[in-house]
Amino acid sequence: MVALSWLIWLPLLCGALAWTVEKRFQGAGNWITLSGLIGMLLLVLYLGSLGESTLSWDWFARFNIHFALWFDGLALLMVVLTIGLAILALAVSWRDITLHQGFFHFNLMFSIAGIIGVFLAADLFLFFLFWEVMLLPMTALILIWGNENRRYAAIKFFIFTQASSLLMLVAIIALALEHQTQTGQLSFSLSALANLSLDSVLEWWLMLGFFIAFAVKLPMVPLHSWLPDAHTQAPTAGSVLLAGILLKTGAYGLIRIVLPLFPDASMQFAPIAVTLGVLSIIYGALMAYSQTDFKRLVAYSSISHMGFVLLALFSWREVAFQGAILTIVAHGISSAALFSMAGIIQHRIHSRELGDMGGMWANAPKMATVTLIFVMAGIGMPGLANFNGELLTLLGSYQTFPTHTIVAALGIIWSAVYGLHLFQRAFQGPMNTDISDLHGREVVYTSLLILALFYFGLQPHILLELSADTLNNLLEIAKEHRP
């Protein structure tokens, strides 16, 4: 279906148009970008109403590489999340970006095109291309519009991502050559590669190449150190994209590539992966509590929450898989919401330090109430989206790894500690600063985020129905390969 490709071309065109028009008409870039994102949202909802669809064009015919896209329920879910949080990223930066505004919109939309490409790619070479496309504009967002140590953070982000991407590229080439060995033809198609019969040693090393690349983006301890710096130094829009969407590409890669292509190796590797997931949960929670920087605290909390996804996926249980999907979406919304609040506060008081805040409830009750709801979502309050994901993750993982799951449950307790610590330091106690409350535009998008958290908290079946086919496929693979 040709319309499927417009989910990639449209953000590129709108970004280029915003960059061009902004030079003559200041502020036009915001409206062009917003119009493009709304158009993309309508298009993806239309495609979703048609059901699963595919697109395949010959690209490098000599190497049997295709421009192949695959749109199913899981892809619909991730693309809608991407576009929704892209609109949030635009909203929080509507008036904050004053330097090279047109170029900012170009990089924002270029990054969105790469992310959506990752979620749609059905060819591993194309997947790698989009994986790299995500890297460059996100590095530019940090480097040009970031905070005081933006150069260090941008270079660190680039090196971590690029180094791990090279491992994935080696694994992709080796997998394609193995397909040629077995069938006489190179192939990068996900569906074709899933039918290969791999030697156990080769499967292990190929799985590890992909796993490291996705674990860096997730991120997983000890491959996480780029994240706190990138989040802290990125502009608010960059932090929203990083936490809300880019981290989810790592989890998506595990679901779409690692588990279905390398099931035997993944099951053998599961105890190690689950241990690293639990380590990420506990380490991230403890480090979050020790932070005095608002954005850095939320960044470490993201490491902790994404550890639950790693625990769930490598437990190979239906309920755990469902918990992973719910956690991916819920964390995308709640973490982006908290970073948007951090940006709102930083724009007003020009500081991210909790010590420079305090007592803000008196002057900004709407801001305090909204932040409290986002904090409650982050710590897993029943009725909000995060609770469902963490509950199902623990229930499902306990069937396979009971000891790891009991330790991981401590992360939920610590999330309450650092979450309430954040709120108490920022909004209660003696007043340290005079701050204005939320204005109209901020009330609108924070209210929409609250509605989304409550809606998916009370109606999680919508997310599970969209991802059901993908999860059922993983369960069938588990039945065939579980010892």
Exposed, middle or buried: residue 451 (CB in 10 Å: 0-12, 13-18, 19+)?
Answer: exposed
The pLDDT value given to residue 96:
79
The string of pLDDT tens digits covering residues 197-239 is 888 899 999 999 999 999 999 889 898 889 989 888 888 888 8
The answer as to whether 216 is a domain residue is yes
Q: In which domain, by residue range, is 35 found?
A: 1-235
The answer as to whether 184 is a domain residue is yes
The answer as to whether 438 is a domain residue is yes
Query: Are 229 and 267 members of one domain?
Result: no
- Within 13 Å of residue 124, how many CA atoms lie on the same side as its CB? 29
The pLDDT value given to residue 149:
85
CB-CB contact of 357 with 281 (8 Å):
no
CB-CB contact of 438 with 366 (8 Å):
yes
Q: How confident is the model at residue 483 (pLDDT cuts 50, 70, 90)?
A: low
Query: Are 460 and 379 members of one domain?
Result: yes
Query: Are 81 and 225 members of one domain?
Result: yes
Query: Are 316 and 201 members of one domain?
Result: no
The answer as to whether 218 is a domain residue is yes
Q: What is the CA radius of gyration of the chain?
A: 21
Query: Are 138 and 3 members of one domain?
Result: yes
Query: Are 204 and 341 members of one domain?
Result: no
Entry pTM: 0.94
| C-beta neighbour count of 419 within 10 angstroms | 26
The answer as to whether 252 is a domain residue is no
Query: Are 271 and 228 members of one domain?
Result: no
Task: Find the mean pLDDT for residues 22-29.
Answer: 80
Query: Are 89 and 187 members of one domain?
Result: yes
The string of pLDDT tens digits covering residues 259-301 is 999 999 999 999 999 999 999 999 999 999 999 999 999 999 9
In the numeric block, which tokens belong to residue 101?
Answer: 């505004």
Helix axes 28-50, 2-22, angle to 10 degrees: 170
By residue count, the chain amounts to 483
Q: How confident is the model at residue 177 (pLDDT cuts 50, 70, 90)?
A: very high
The string of pLDDT tens digits covering residues 331-388 is 999 999 999 999 999 888 888 888 888 888 888 899 999 999 999 999 989 999 999 9
DSSP letter assigned to residue 293? B
Task: Tell me how far apart the alpha carbons of residues 382 and 376 are, in angstroms, rounded to a whole number.
Answer: 9
Task: Tell me how far apart the alpha carbons of residues 309 and 380 are, in angstroms, rounded to a whole number.
Answer: 14
Query: Are 202 and 329 members of one domain?
Result: no
The answer as to whether 257 is a domain residue is no
The pLDDT value given to residue 440:
87
The string of pLDDT tens digits covering residues 183-192 is 889 899 999 9
Mean of the per-residue pLDDT values of the chain: 91
Query: Are 277 and 227 members of one domain?
Result: no
The pLDDT value given to residue 100:
83
Query: Are 200 and 296 members of one domain?
Result: no
The string of pLDDT tens digits covering residues 50-89 is 888 888 888 888 888 999 999 999 999 999 999 999 999 9
The pLDDT value given to residue 1:
66
Q: Are strands 65-71 and 53-60 parallel, antiparallel or unpaired?
A: antiparallel
Cα dist. 367→89, 206, 340, 374, 440 in Å?
A: 18, 48, 11, 11, 12
The answer as to whether 458 is a domain residue is yes
The answer as to whether 251 is a domain residue is no
CB-CB contact of 134 with 114 (8 Å):
yes
The closest of 317, 322, 301 to 412, measured between CA atoms, is 301
CB-CB contact of 248 with 217 (8 Å):
no
Quick one: CA dihedral 286, 287, 290, 292, positive or negative? negative
Query: Are 384 and 291 members of one domain?
Result: yes
The pLDDT value given to residue 97:
78
Minimum mean pLDDT among 145-154, 287-296, 297-306: which range?
A: 145-154
Last residue of a domain, one of 235, 250, 279: 235
The pLDDT value given to residue 202:
92
Amino acid identity of residue 132, one-letter, is E
Cα dist. 31→7, 86, 214 in Å?
A: 18, 13, 34
Domain count, the chain: 2
Return the C-alpha torsion angle 58, 60, 62, 65, nearest 10: -70
Last residue of a domain, one of 216, 235, 254: 235
The pLDDT value given to residue 59:
87
Task: Tell me how far apart the alpha carbons of residues 437 and 304 are, in angstroms, rounded to a whole number.
Answer: 30
Cα dist. 95→98, 99, 193, 336, 405 in Å?
A: 7, 11, 47, 18, 44
Q: Give me the residues paired with residue 258 across strands.
A: none
The string of pLDDT tens digits covering residues 412-423 is 899 999 999 999
Q: How confident is the model at residue 394 (pLDDT cuts 50, 70, 90)?
A: very high
